Structures are given as C-alpha cells and as structure tokens.
Amino acid sequence: MTNFPLRCWTVLSTVLSIGLLFFLLSFVFIKAQGVISLNFILAKPAGFPVGSAGGIWPAVAGSLLVTLIASLFATILAFFTAVYMVFYCRDDRIKLVVNLIIQCIAGIPSIVLGLFGYAFLVIKLELGLSILASGLTLAIMIFPYIQIRLQKLFLETNKQLLEASASLGINRSYTIINLLLPMYRKQILSIITLASGFAMGAAAPVMLTGCMMNAPVPESLASPFMSLPYHLYVLIGQGISLENAYGTAFVLMILVLLLNLLAAVPTLLGMRGKR
C-alpha cells in the first residue's frame, strides 16, 4: 500500500523539475513577443534613463566578445594543463598540488573572482575597467570546468592505444594532436561550448571588472563594454523598463540555449552513428 504515495512523489517531482524549464522558457518567450524585433536587437540603447528605449546591440556584441575572449584563454590554458598533467607530469606530488588548487578555484564563488579581477587585473596590472579584464576574470571562472573534464577525458583513454602508439616510436605530441584530438573532437567541443554558456550568463564577475550601463560596441581590448546579463540586471533593478527587460532576457536565453544546443549536437549525431 505504501507504493502508491511513493509513485506519486517521484512522478510529481519529475513533472515539476522538467516542467520548470518549460515554464521559464514560455514565461520569457510569451512576454517578450511584443518587444523583439530586428530593430531591438540591432539598435543602440536610447531614452532617458538609458535603456528605456532603443535596443541592445552593444550588449549583444559585448557579451559575445567577452565570452570569446574568456573561452579562448580558458581553453588554451586548460588544454595544456590537462595534457601536462596526464602525459608529461611524472611527479605525484606536483599532480596532487595542481589538482588541489584547481578544485579550490572551482569552488570559489564568481563574485570573489570578480573581486580578484577588480583588485589585481583592473587596478594592479592597470588593465582598467575593460573587456580584457572581464574576459580574463571569466576565463579563470570557467578554467576549472574545462580542465577537470579534459583531464578526465584524457585519463580515460584506452591505455593500449597509447602504448601501441608509443611502441611504434611515435612522439607523445604527435599522438595527442593526431590521435586524441580527432578522437575526442566532439566531447572537447561540447565541453567548451557549455563553459562558454556559463561565461556568457555570468553577471557578477563582469560588473566589477569592466561592464558598464551604457557603452558603445568595444573597439579595443582596453575599452569598457556592455553585457546582456548586466543590462538585464540594471533594467529590472532600477526599474527602467520592464518590456526591454523581457526582450533582453529573451535574447540572452536564446544565445545560451543555442550554445547548449551546439554542445548537444555532436553527441546526438554520435549516438545516431552508433545505431
């Protein structure tokens, strides 16, 4: 008899969890209908206070650029760190220390990373409030995510494959570039796109390191910029315009969903290939 309440509980929880996403999506999509137009996406913010009229183009461009910078830095650093840890490092103590410090950073909240970005990158290194400082801060934020997953991927590689490659007298670098990279192309791409999604949605680190309420599309790495999540926060937090907030939320959500979809495509294709 106690089975029935259990089933009710599990089914209800599942419906609730899955339904949440559809609720969030439909909520934003329905309310944003009247606001979204090509003009809204491609125009500069206008009106007084700024943002009450006009569009969000600088925020779209700023978000895309800062995400690109962050992903680029984080990927290069994370890839080589993972390669070093798996294929070159022979000292277990070094491995332990590096793993420990990466795990530590993975647990640090984004706002504290923002503090670091502000005090160290913006002020001490004199990068100023800029898209470069924000990009680097976001890179530190997503670095552990990428590195931990890449390292796991490399560690799980079939040992025989690596041994066969080594016994043929092939260099490690050649094996990594010509065997592992093509083999894991899909997984690596999906790890990077998911991490980019996190970087794009983060407002706390960028609002301390270079994000502005109103700025043009950045011209150089040293210019301040606008970002979608921060723009949304300002529009709603200061009660500037609810309509434009819906529009901004819609665009941000679409971009993040696109990145998620992009990450899922290779795995979906891969699954079909197996059958």
Partner 1 sequence: MEQTFEKLFSILSTIFTVISVVLLFLVIFFITQESMLIFQEVNFLDFISGLTWNPLASEPTVGILPMILATFYVSMVAVLISLPIGIGCALELAALENERLKGFFTSILAVLAGIPSVIYGFIGLLVVVKFLEKTFRLAAGESILSGGIVLAVMVLPYIVSSVTETMEKSYKKYKETSLALGVSKSYMLRALILPNAKGAILTSMILAFSRAMGETMAVMMVMGNSPILPKLLGKGETISALIALEIGTAGLGSLHYHALFTSGFVLMMFLIFLNALFYLIKKNLTEHLE
Rounded to a whole number of angstroms, the minimum distance from the CB of residue 28 to partner 1 is 7
Whether 127 and 222 have beta carbons less than 8 Å apart is answered as: yes
Rounded to a whole number of angstroms, the minimum distance from the CB of residue 189 to partner 1 is 16
Q: Which one, 225 or 230, has the nearer CB to partner 1?
A: 230
* The binder of partner 1 chosen from 200, 212, 215, 240 (CB under 8 A): 200
22: left (phi over 0), alpha (psi -120 to 50) or beta: alpha
- Looking at residues 216 to 245 of the shown chain, list those that interact with partner 1 (rule: CB under 8 A): 229-230, 232-233, 236-237, 245
Rounded to a whole number of angstroms, the minimum distance from the CB of residue 199 to partner 1 is 10
Instruction: Characterize 250-260 residue by residue with b for buried, 16 or more Cβ atoms within 10 angstroms of its Cβ, and e for exposed.
Output: bbbbebbeebe
Rg (CA), the chain: 22
- Looking at residues 57 to 116 of the shown chain, list those that interact with partner 1 (rule: CB under 8 A): 76-78, 80-81, 83-85, 87-89, 97-98, 101-116
Question: What are the C-alpha distances in Å from 14 to residues 3, 6, 10, 21, 188?
Answer: 17, 12, 6, 12, 30
Task: Show the tokens assigned to 136.
Answer: 């680097």
- Looking at residues 26 to 55 of the shown chain, list those that interact with partner 1 (rule: CB under 8 A): 27-28
Site string for partner 1, 160-199 (x = CB under 8 A): -----------xxxx-x-----------------x--xx-
- Looking at residues 105 to 164 of the shown chain, list those that interact with partner 1 (rule: CB under 8 A): 105-116, 118-120, 123, 140, 143, 147
Whether 47 and 54 have beta carbons less than 8 Å apart is answered as: yes
Rounded to a whole number of angstroms, the minimum distance from the CB of residue 207 to partner 1 is 7
Task: Show the tokens assigned to 138.
Answer: 């976001």
